[in-house]
Structure 1
Amino acid sequence: MKTLLLTLGLSLLAALRAQTLPVGDEETQDASGTWYLKATAADQEIPWKKLESVTVTPMTIKTLAGGHLEVTFTVLIGGQCREISTVLEKTAEPGRYTAHGGKHVVQVLKSQDEDHYILYCEGDMHGQQIRMAKLVGRYPEVNVDALQEFEQVAAARGLNADSIFIPKQREACSPGSD
Structure 2
Amino acid sequence: MRTLLLTVSLGLVAALQAQDPPASGGLGQDVSGKWYLKAATADQEIPMKKPESVTSMNLTVLEGGNLEVQATILIDGQCRDKTLVLERASEPGKYTAYGGKRVVYITPSAVKDHYILYCEGELGGKQIRVAKLMGRDPENNAGALEDFKKVAEAKGLHLEVFIPRQSETCSPEA
Fold shared by both chains (TM-score > 0.5): yes
Q: Distance in 1 between matches of 2:92 and 2:121?
A: 19
Identity of aligned residues (%): 54
Change (3 A) 1:5 1:166: same
Q: Counterpart amino acid of 1:96?
A: K
Secondary structure at the counterpart of residue 20 of structure 2: helix
Q: Report if aligned partners of 2:44, 2:128 keep a CA contact under 8 Å in 1.
A: yes
Secondary structure at the counterpart of residue 28 of structure 1: coil
The residue number in structure 2 matching 1:166 is 163
**Normalising to structure 1: TM-score of the pair?**
0.87
Secondary structure at the counterpart of residue 70 of structure 1: strand
Pairing of 1:13-162 with structure 2 (within 5 A): 13-17=13-17, 18-19=19-20, 28-46=28-46, 47-49=48-50, 54-160=52-158, 162=159
Shift of 1:28: 2.8
Secondary structure at the counterpart of residue 165 of structure 1: coil
Q: Report if aligned partners of 1:60, 1:71 keep a CA contact under 8 Å in 2.
A: yes
Pairing of 1:1-12 with structure 2 (within 5 A): 2-8=1-7, 9-12=9-12
**Normalising to structure 2: TM-score of the pair?**
0.89
Shift of 1:128: 1.3
Secondary structure at the counterpart of residue 151 of structure 1: helix
Q: Deviations over 1:53-81 (max 9, x none)?
A: 71111001111111101100011012111
Q: Counterpart amino acid of 1:155?
A: E
Q: Counterpart amino acid of 1:54?
A: E
Q: Report if aligned partners of 1:135, 1:150 keep a CA contact under 8 Å in 2.
A: yes
Q: Distance in 1 between matches of 2:6 and 2:110?
A: 25
Q: Counterpart amino acid of 2:100?
A: G
- List runs of 5+ in structure 1 lacking aligned partners: 22-26
Q: Distance in 1 between matches of 2:150 and 2:54?
A: 24
C-alpha RMSD of matched pairs (Å): 1.8
Q: Report if aligned partners of 2:113, 2:136 keep a CA contact under 8 Å in 1.
A: yes
Q: Deviations over 1:128-177 (max 9, x none)?
A: 111000000001110000000000000000001x4210000111127xx5
Q: Report if aligned partners of 2:21, 2:61 keep a CA contact under 8 Å in 1.
A: no
Q: Report if aligned partners of 2:11, 2:134 keep a CA contact under 8 Å in 1.
A: no
Q: Distance in 2 between matches of 1:164 and 1:11?
A: 14
| Structure 1 residue runs of 4 or more that deviate by more than 6 Å after TM superposition | none
Q: Counterpart amino acid of 2:20?
A: Q
Shift of 1:20: 6.6
